[in-house]
Amino acid sequence: MPIYEYRCQQCGQQFEKFVRSSSDQNKVECPYCHSTQVKKEFSVFGLGSSNKGLGLNTSTPTPSCNTGST
């Protein structure tokens, strides 16, 4: 089930919603003001600094794999 990001055209709040099918996209309601005037936002999943919200530390360098002896 995909998660889509929406912005309410009435109150301006941004929210996420699980949408089962394309016909359910027409039934999306703002959880804040209950308006059905919502617009699907462009979302970027798991890129760059957006991983901070997932509890991932992107500032620590990834250790290199050293398979040989020195």
Work out how many domains the chain is built from and give that number: 1
**Segments forming the whole domain that contains residue 33:** 3-46
pLDDT tens readout for residues 33-69:
999 999 998 766 655 554 444 455 555 555 666 666 6
Residue 29, in any domain of the structure: yes
The CATH number that applies at residue 32 is 2.20.28
Give me the pLDDT at residue 33, please.
97
Tell me: pLDDT of 26 over 70.
Answer: yes
Residue 35, in any domain of the structure: yes
pTM given for the model: 0.55
Residue 56, in any domain of the structure: no
Reported in sequence order, the residue ranges of 1-70 that DSSP labels E, i.e. its strands, are 3-8, 14-18, 38-40
Residue 54, in any domain of the structure: no
Average pLDDT over residues 20-29: 76
Residue 38, in any domain of the structure: yes
Give me the pLDDT at residue 51, please.
46
Residue 53, in any domain of the structure: no
